[in-house]
Amino acid sequence: MQDDLVLKQLIASAQVLGIQHDPSVPAGDRQILRIADEQKRALSATEIQQICSSSNVDGQLTEHLQNKANQLVQQARDFLLREQPHLVQPGGALFPSERAEACWRDCWQFFRVIVYALACRRPQFTDPVGMGALRALYAHVGVPLEGLNIALSQLKILTRQEAMGPTEDQLLSESFDHLLEELNKSAVKT
């Protein structure tokens, strides 16, 4: 019973995106991000246009990445399963299939939020408290961070191949690096 309560609290507190609280981002853009993030959805073409006009980021790339999200996540998934097939076999950290599906959904959600970060030109996009709760949640349910790191690192490579210029490439690289750093922070302070 206590375990269920802890799990519910962690789920409620886990939050990746922090841009919607950044006062240097225009209020209308923050509102768009808040609503899209609450709905766990990609940005619409109109939303992309508005945010990218504020940040002076190429809206075509943002839209292109969103349109390729499923394909890119699938390619990262396939790479991970080639590298570590034992993860989805009995006894593996992504077995049974429901655990694997949850991992792929998380990869898609991380990608969605990185696209938000790109659109806003904010590679430091996470919410520190929410990320702490996410790390605690992952530890609580035994998410295999090694596998998630491999999948996200591959997703970074694939996504950067889609970049249409050095500025966007750098933004994507910094955003993925920031996410990976935040996901892998140790709870132990020295």
pLDDT level of residue 190 (50, 70, 90 thresholds) = very low
| Separation CA 171–CA 175 (nearest Å) | 6
Q: Please state the domain extents for the chain.
A: 14-183
Q: Specify the CATH architecture of the domain 14-183.
A: Orthogonal Bundle (1.10)
Residue 187 confidence (pLDDT) above 70: no
Q: What is the DSSP letter of 169?
A: H
188-to-21, 29, 136, 185 alpha-carbon distances in Å: 27, 35, 12, 9
Residue-wise pLDDT tens digits, 46-63: 999 999 999 999 999 999
Spatial distance between the Cα atoms of 71 and 54, rounded to a whole number of angstroms? 28
Distance of CA 107 to the CA centre of its chain: 6
Query: Using one digit for the tens of pLDDT, what is the confidence trace for 117-139?
Result: 999 999 999 999 999 999 999 99
